[in-house]
Amino acid sequence: MTEIAISTRDLVKQFKTRSGKIIAVNQVNIDIPRGETFGLIGPDGAGKTTLTRVILGLLSRTHGQSSILGFDSMHDTYAIRERVGYIAQQFALPADLTVKENMEFFANIQGVSREDQKKRVPQLLEFAGLSEFTGRLAGQLSGGMKKKLALTCSLIHEPQVVMLDEPTLGVDPVSRREFWNLLGHLRAEKGLTICVCTPYMDEAERCNRVGLMYSGKLIASDTPRAIKSCIQGHLLEFKPHQFVPAQKLVTEMPGVLEVQTYGAMLHVFVEDVGLRKPEIEAVLTAQGISFEPLREIEVRMEEAFISLIHREAANHQERGAIATPLGKMGL
């Protein structure tokens, strides 16, 4: 039987405001097995950070259950802190301490003995590629190096679970790739369980499973492949030279399931590529709209993410609810 590292049952978190109550986390159920990398994605305000903080015991829950490694989030916070590494969205390294001093600072906070520090600090610095920068002040590090130092500081007490809240936000693509390579090695070598909130869909693709949050609810949870496969239709991509008229025209055509924008490109979901592709080309040509050739492409996490959000927003509107703005998509 697979051992569960992180679990929630009907988890609810409400905040009181002057105008009433806001449900930030709404009846969320999650089971993350040991050794899995689980990604939480969703638009701004979806509840990802709040969910993470409740699971960690940093925020009180309103209803339901939440635990890490069998320890209750509300009652066993010290046991959780001993076993979990956490990088918050605004993780702050003391800028006036060197790389090595930061490592020792966080080791002391976590109660790591001097003897263990002598062994672990050099190992982690070597692992993260920071051995040559031990004497550099943290405030003088690049964004990518700061993220790697934050990761090593969160690992100094050898946690079994690591929870990361948008750890690579604002970091260049090369540094993001290096950071995720480190996470991959950690999971493979040490069997770490990793739960990460990310706005980047390419990072979501690296996870074993992905949970999509919208308006406080977990609306999908599965492997990236399974989530992509649940999107209806085939995907056509093309670049129209008259963007707005082309978008309006294609959206209103029969057999078109959904139209998404992707920079200067239009992504069109259709029921039948063989039938609809020549129809779209003919209609555009008849209306005097020039375009670059249509081609069929595979559905990626970006398209699946937007499609599921649109679907849930439409359901909200049908139920008379106010839909949350989509916010950043990580595109």
Mean pLDDT (the chain) is: 90
Residue 322 has pLDDT above 50, yes or no: no
Supply the pLDDT for residue 318.
64
Tokens of 315: 């359901």
Residue 322 or residue 244, greater confidence: 244
Residue 329 has pLDDT above 70, yes or no: no
Most distant CA atoms of the chain, gap in Å: 77
Mean pLDDT in residue range 154-180: 90
Residue 309 has pLDDT above 50, yes or no: yes
Mean pLDDT in residue range 53-76: 96
Mean pLDDT in residue range 73-99: 91
Q: Assign 328 a pLDDT band (cuts: 50, 70, 90).
A: very low
Mean pLDDT in residue range 89-115: 90
Query: What residue has token string 């009907």?
Result: 10
Instruction: Kindly report the pTM of this predicted structure.
Output: 0.86
Distance CA 289, CA 297 (A): 22
Domains observed in the chain: 4-227 (3.40.50.300), 232-298 (3.30.70.100)
pLDDT tens for each residue of 242-280: 999 999 999 999 999 999 999 999 999 999 999 999 999
Q: Assign 218 a pLDDT band (cuts: 50, 70, 90).
A: very high
Mean pLDDT in residue range 306-318: 81
